[in-house]
Amino acid sequence: MSEILRTFDLSRRFRKTVVLDRLNLTVSEGSVYGLLGQNGAGKSTAIKILMNLIQPSEGRAEVFGHDSRHLTPEDFTQIGYVSENQELPDWMTVDYFMRYLAPFYPDWDAARAEELLRQFNLPKDRKLKHLSRGMRMKASLASSLAYKPKLIVLDEPFSGLDALVRDQFVESLLESMEGATVLISSHDLSEIENFASHVGYLDQGKLLFSEEMSSLTSRFREIQITRDGPMPQLLNWPSNWISAEHSGAVTRFVDTRFHEENSIAQVHQLFQGLHEISVSPMPLRSIFVTLAKTGQKGAEG
């Protein structure tokens, strides 16, 4: 599988503030990569460098194997880009906007464009400046999917959207993803969890980990153990057991390298007189909240 996007020790500073710190990111062809992190983590800055909207302070980025600073017009005809702060020509109507864009894209599909406008219930005769925030985002997405790009880049697309608009957005994206590679940055973990195949976590400009979604969710488990008496103090607490909480005879922690047979055997080895052990899978939101609170990289897997 070839690599559609790559960064090499990518750094960006704004005066003395380090926004990206030696970012090494790889997005493979055909994947749906969720770049996650809190607001201000550096997600949008990384995407803007990839799209050649701003320049890196150090390092470099590649798109389709080309330095992002030298992307050609032909490259951009294969990229669909939607950003929460994207500027649109407000004086244009929705219909004029779509017809204006069509000549720039050799693979523009007029029938697909009409279908997207109907699906999103976008009024063709209304000016873009008179659209709500949600409708503007849908207009941006429709214009970016009409030519079936090989790469779809979405920068915080769900920000400020109500649940219905988010559902429509995701539905159209899923219908248009066949054969495409998707990079989506967001702090809306519940939406990403529904369709991302890979996930990376940025924190203060550093990529703490990057892996397949299935791998991440399979190795994180919340474990609760109950003894007949108070818990003894462990001198050698495993490094992959994080976020421990103790309350009388009950201890809860998160195992970041869970293996059903080995992990349960390790619990029995370290704790004597166990009354009960419960193991619970963790949704993506719980995983990231745990990592944020503990400051762990989560890369032990």
- Give the pLDDT of residue 40: 85
pTM across the whole model:
0.87
Report the number of distinct structural domains present in the chain: 2
Identify whether residues 153 and 270 lie together within a single domain: no
- Give the pLDDT of residue 148: 92
From 167, 183, 213, the end of a domain falls on 213
Identify whether residues 141 and 174 lie together within a single domain: yes
The residue segments making up the domain with residue 264 are 221-281
- Give the pLDDT of residue 292: 76
Identify whether residues 84 and 173 lie together within a single domain: yes
For the chain, 301 residues long, the average pLDDT of each consecutive 10-residue run is 90 92 95 89 94 95 95 94 90 97 96 92 94 90 93 86 77 80 85 86 89 92 85 74 86 92 88 85 88 63 49
Identify whether residues 13 and 121 lie together within a single domain: yes
Task: Give yes or no for a contact between 154 and 182, defined as CB atoms under 8 angstroms apart.
Answer: yes
- Give the pLDDT of residue 177: 77
From 176, 196, 213, the end of a domain falls on 213
290 found inside a domain: no
- Give the pLDDT of residue 299: 44
Rounded to 10 deg, the angle between the 133-145 and 163-176 helix axes is 0
CATH code of the domain covering residue 133: 3.40.50.300
C-alpha 298, offset from chain centre: 16
14 found inside a domain: yes
From 213, 240, 268, the end of a domain falls on 213
DSSP strand pairing (198-203 vs 66-67): unpaired
Identify whether residues 142 and 241 lie together within a single domain: no
300 found inside a domain: no
Identify whether residues 158 and 267 lie together within a single domain: no
Task: Give yes or no for a contact between 94 and 137, defined as CB atoms under 8 angstroms apart.
Answer: no
